Structure 1
Amino acid sequence: MGAVAGVFILLMSVTGVLLTYERQIIHAAENSAVVAPEGADPMTVDALADASIAMGAEPGNTLVISKDRTDAVTLSKGRRDNTLLNPYTAETMPEAGEKTKAFFGRVMRIHRWLSFSGGRSELGGAINAAANLIFAGLLITGAVLWWPKTWKWAFVKTQLFFRKGLRTAQARDYNWHHVLAAWSLLPLIAIVVSGAVFSYGWANNLVYAAFGESPGRNGPPAVAEQEAQPSEIPTDFTAVSLETLLGQATADYKNWKRVSVILPEPAAETVTMTVDMGNGAQAGKKRTLTLAHDGSGVIGEPAGSDATPARKARIFLRFIHTGEVYGWIGQTIAGLASLAGVILVYTGISLGFRRLIRMRKQAKAKRA
């Protein structure tokens, strides 16, 4: 099982390494496509909002503005309906980073569905999911086999550190297998368990069941609460610019990276903005603020995610799989763990086949 599954574990590990810094690389590719007219300054949020409305955007759609105002701006009309805008002209950039995104898209499809043709493959997904479960079994049983019978440093260090001067390839593979498995066990377990949640409905249901919830519930209804809140803005208010409100939203968050501005109705008394201090995948580093459209300040307290505990756990598992929940450090650890997985497959299959050959020779010797 280990030898057969190893082929697919190897593919998932290699593609996992390639996907390590996907978010940052795509972001850089998109921004490299921005062309600034000579002598031009980036547009204000209000100018970008007006241009977006002119292109068909509606109140309720979102503009994502980076702290570096020369970065591409994202107009989001839905989860999968996103348009990149030039921050200097508000022109759309349909080809920005397209080759880079196409490359990572293909790698992702191999990683998730074993699809080399470009489409989604249910059979390939089932094979990868099964290989992932076998990998979980190999990790758990491997940890049991690795566990030292005697915790004496002279012995334990041979299981934790690479050894020099090993005379045979088998001894080298044995040492590498043990050392890499020991150091990468915990991140690999996190990657494998979270991967199972994406692959199997029963695993996803277990996450929700652990919190007494059912899949599909994204968060508690908040409409009644919002309606019950008294308006703190006079009906004859004069709206200030979105640029001013952006400054108010970020005033207490000096390390902000981007702000999502929900385009308001022209006569709206409030404007909602979400300040992101992380990489876009860290829910704990986002704060949603409701600002008075007349510029009188923030209404109420900044809010974090309103998702239910089960939904928060599901989001956490989504980004613990890539390591993004802990920023670039987490991504690096996940990438190194995937690289360790590549070597574990090689050394594991190598040791396994040597054992099979040795067993066959012993069987022949007994018959002789």
Structure 2
Amino acid sequence: MTFKKLVLQFHRWLGLLSGLVVFIIAITGCVYVFIDELKPVFYKDRMYVTVPKQAQRLPLDQLRVLAQKAVGEEYPLKAAEISLRPDRSVYFRAVKVDPSAIGHGNYTKYYWRVYMDPYTGKVLKIENTKWEFFNVVVNLHINLLLGTKIGKPVVNWSVVIFVGMLVSGLLLWWPSNKAAAKQRFAFKWKATTKWKRKNYDLHNIPGFYSLLVLLVISLTGLVIAFAWFDNSVQWIANKGRSIPAPPPVFSDTTNPSAYSMDRMLQAAQRQTPGANWFFISIPGDEKSPVYSLSKDDSQPLYMAEKVQLDQHTGATLMSKRWKELNNGETIKAMNYDLHVGSVLGLPGKIIAFLASLIAASLPVTGFYIWLGRRNKKAPAAKPQRAAIVR
């Protein structure tokens, strides 16, 4: 068996093994890319508010009490997302998962989002996010709605296989001569071109042009999936130096001041004066720090300032400013934005969308290539001449 035939066998059988999972990951990835753009369109009634003439925002602590009452005390609120844009709502989330459970319905015990009008305190929507469309898409993408115990390993290793298929696909695509090269870079279809040839070209040509983008999407997915891969990337970025993670920090439990979300927001604003979007956690005990993300909402996520605050005083316990990160931390911070293309803004998201669409087509066209070769008719036997009896 020649090297290329060996690569073909590798490519073919791994494709059959992972094709359905890759198709699901890629199709959901097409939606995942534009979640931030699609939600305001479909959920305008809960994400936008009418700004009154005498615009005076209610305290966050008051909104939190109203949101907790609306969703029920049995669902303790865990975090809030606050936009300082005048026409945007504030939402609180209550979520609980069971990592050992199988199936989305069992894995996510509950997930509620309570959207609030920051001026009136009116509850705009109590969203059952567990079964909300975009959340279902995200969970399909990362665990096939099977939970993290089974679904996540299946997805993670399917991505590993897909990386191997991209590399083997490039080896198979590589033309052996000038004549073959003419059909590798562009569609050369005629009226007489058969469907099998068209399907073969639809597998090879778009696959080649999307290869680099799909490698970036896949490798950044592996950073999210595997801690060892994430650590390896950071080790390489830091020129072979392993930088230990900072020790955990805790709030001062001797301070009698109760947690105040308004105090946390003010502390986060002091850290990032130009920010207009904030994510602030709500601790479940008196010792845990408050986690805060803050940025201008026109900026990608990797530029958000990450801060841990004392839940009693708002004092900064730990700060991770974008400009202060080492090379490994910078790559880790940018990983999500590289994965969805937002590192390049809207053009990058469009590129990621098109590449994901091509990725979804590859298992389909590849399956038909395999099916066509498997059902290939053997050439008709030549008729033998009758023996002449002498």
- Normalising by the smaller structure, the TM-score range is 0.5 to 0.7
In the alignment, what sits opposite 2:369?
351
Distance, in Å, in 2 between the alignment partners of 1:175 and 1:33 is 46
Relative to structure 1, the CA distance from residue 349 to residue 38 in structure 2 (aligned partners, 3 Å threshold; closer, same or farther) is closer
In the alignment, what sits opposite 2:149?
122
Relative to structure 1, the CA distance from residue 37 to residue 161 in structure 2 (aligned partners, 3 Å threshold; closer, same or farther) is closer
- 2:242 aligned with 1:213, yes or no? yes
Structure 1 residue 195 displacement after superposition: 1.7
Structure 1 residue 172 displacement after superposition: 0.2
Structure 1 residue 128 displacement after superposition: 2.1
In the alignment, what sits opposite 1:11?
24
Within-5 A mapping of 1:27-42: 27-33=40-46, 40=53, 42=55
Structure 1 residue 52 displacement after superposition: 4.1
In the alignment, what sits opposite 1:51?
62
In the alignment, what sits opposite 1:164?
189
Native 8 Å contact 1:20 1:334 kept in 2: yes
Provide the secondary structure at the position in 2 that maps to 1:95: strand
| Root mean square deviation of aligned Cα | 4.3
TM-score, with normalisation over the residues of structure 1? 0.66
In the alignment, what sits opposite 1:320?
338
Aligned counterpart for 2:225 among listed residues 199, 211, 215 = 199
Provide the secondary structure at the position in 2 that maps to 1:84: strand
Distance, in Å, in 1 between the alignment partners of 2:217 and 2:60 is 40
Provide the secondary structure at the position in 1 that maps to 2:210: helix
Structure 1 residue 329 displacement after superposition: 2.1
Aligned counterpart for 2:298 among listed residues 278, 283, 291 = 278
How many residues are aligned here? Answer: 304
Native 8 Å contact 2:46 2:115 kept in 1: no
**Letter aligned with residue 178 of structure 1:** N
- 2:36 aligned with 1:23, yes or no? yes
Provide the secondary structure at the position in 1 that maps to 2:126: coil
Relative to structure 1, the CA distance from residue 275 to residue 321 in structure 2 (aligned partners, 3 Å threshold; closer, same or farther) is closer
Within-5 A mapping of 1:279-294: 279=299, 281-284=300-303, 286=304
Relative to structure 1, the CA distance from residue 273 to residue 249 in structure 2 (aligned partners, 3 Å threshold; closer, same or farther) is farther
In the alignment, what sits opposite 2:121?
90
Relative to structure 1, the CA distance from residue 190 to residue 101 in structure 2 (aligned partners, 3 Å threshold; closer, same or farther) is farther
Within-5 A mapping of 1:217-366: 217=245, 249-250=273-274, 258-260=276-278, 274-276=294-296, 278-279=298-299, 281-284=300-303, 286=304, 304=322, 306-358=324-376, 361=378
In the alignment, what sits opposite 1:298?
none
In the alignment, what sits opposite 1:134?
161
Structure 1 residue 222 displacement after superposition: 11
**Letter aligned with residue 134 of structure 1:** I
**Letter aligned with residue 205 of structure 1:** N
Q: Over residues 125-169 of structure 1, what are the superposed CA-to-partner deviations in whole Å (9 max), with x where a residue is unaligned? A: 22222221121111101112222345x6x8645322233325211
Distance, in Å, in 2 between the alignment partners of 1:38 and 1:132 is 46
Distance, in Å, in 2 between the alignment partners of 1:170 and 1:222 is 61
Distance, in Å, in 2 between the alignment partners of 1:333 and 1:288 is 28
Provide the secondary structure at the position in 2 that maps to 1:159: coil
Relative to structure 1, the CA distance from residue 311 to residue 148 in structure 2 (aligned partners, 3 Å threshold; closer, same or farther) is same
Distance, in Å, in 2 between the alignment partners of 1:345 and 1:180 is 13
Relative to structure 1, the CA distance from residue 95 to residue 287 in structure 2 (aligned partners, 3 Å threshold; closer, same or farther) is same
Provide the secondary structure at the position in 2 that maps to 1:64: strand
Native 8 Å contact 2:115 2:126 kept in 1: no
Relative to structure 1, the CA distance from residue 43 to residue 104 in structure 2 (aligned partners, 3 Å threshold; closer, same or farther) is same
Distance, in Å, in 1 between the alignment partners of 2:165 and 2:212 is 13
**Letter aligned with residue 276 of structure 1:** D
Distance, in Å, in 2 between the alignment partners of 1:330 and 1:38 is 33
Structure 1 residue 321 displacement after superposition: 1.7
In the alignment, what sits opposite 1:103?
133
**Letter aligned with residue 88 of structure 1:** Y
Q: Over residues 261-312 of structure 1, what are the superposed CA-to-partner deviations in whole Å (9 max), with x where a residue is unaligned? A: 989xxxxxxxx99441535x4323x4799xxxxxxxxxxxxx5354443233
- 2:213 aligned with 1:187, yes or no? yes
Q: Over residues 32-60 of structure 1, what are the superposed CA-to-partner deviations in whole Å (9 max), with x where a residue is unaligned? A: 2257579555434xx34463476599xxx
**Letter aligned with residue 225 of structure 2:** S
